[in-house]
Amino acid sequence: MKARLFCTTIITVLFTIFCQAQTATISGKVGLGVSNLSSTAEEFEIVLKNQITNDSVVIPLTTVDYTFNNVPLGGSYIIYVNTAKNNEDYLNGVSTLDLVMITRHILGVDQFNNPYKSLAADVSEDGRVSVLDLVMLRSLILGITTALNHSWIVRLQEDITKEKIIINNLSGDLVNQNFVLIKKGDINGNPK
C-alpha cells in the first residue's frame, strides 16, 4: 500500500513538473507612445500566430496589459498588433494644439522629449519632422484632405524600427514584450 502511494506521489510530482514545463506565458503592454505606454486608445487586437501552423490566438485589448497563457514551449511565433480595423478616423486626437507643438519642435523652442512624438509628427513618412508635415496636418484639419498614409502605426518599445516580435523556439516565460501605439498627428496623447 505504501509502495503504491509512493509511486502515485512520484507520478503526480513528475506529471506536475512535466506539465508545467510544457507551456509558457508571454506578457507585456500595448500603450500610447506619447504617454510612455501609460494609456491606450480604441480597441486594438493583439495576435499570437504560430509560424509553422499559422494558428492564431487573438486578444481584444481593453487595457494596456496583455497576457498569452499556455503557449507551448519549443514553438516559433509572431506577435503583432492588428491596426486594420483602426486605420481610419485620421483626425482622431489631431487639433491645432498638435500643430503648435510640432511648430515649436521644428523651431527648436520646445523639442520633443520622446522618439514616438517624432514618429507621430512625421505624417509625410519621410523620416523627418518638417514644414511639409505641418502643411499636411493643416490640410487635414481644414478638410482640404481627408486621409494620411496611416492613422496608427505600431512599433516595438525595444526597437522602434520593428513592428512585430519574432520568437524562435520558445524556451520559457517572456515579460515586457511591449508595443508602442502611435497616432499620426497627435503629439499630446488625446485620441479617443
183 belongs to the binding site for Ca ion (CB under 5 A):
no
User: Residue 178 Cβ, how far from Ca ion at the closest point, in Å?
Assistant: 22
Residue 26 or 101: the one with the smaller Cβ distance to Ca ion is: 101
| Calpha distance 135→119 (Å, rounded) | 16
| Interface positions, 104-123, toward Ca ion (CB under 5 A) | 122
Select the residue interacting with Ca ion from 23, 36, 50, 188 (CB under 5 A). 188
Closer to Ca ion by Cβ: residue 157 or 190: 190
Tell me the closest approach of the beta carbon of residue 123 to Ca ion, in angstroms: 7
Contact 179, 155 (CB under 8 A): yes
Q: Which residue is nearest to Ca ion (CB)?
A: 124
Separation CA 179–CA 21 (nearest Å): 27
Q: Does 86 bind Ca ion (CB under 5 A)?
A: no
Q: Which residues pair with 80 in a beta bridge?
A: 47
CA distance 176 to 115: 19
- Shortest Å, Cβ 179 to Ca ion: 20
Residue appearing with cell numbers 508571454: 26
Closest CA relative to residue 86, chosen from 189, 185, 190, 183 = 183
| Residues near Ca ion (CB under 5 A) | 93, 98, 122, 124, 126, 133, 186, 188, 190
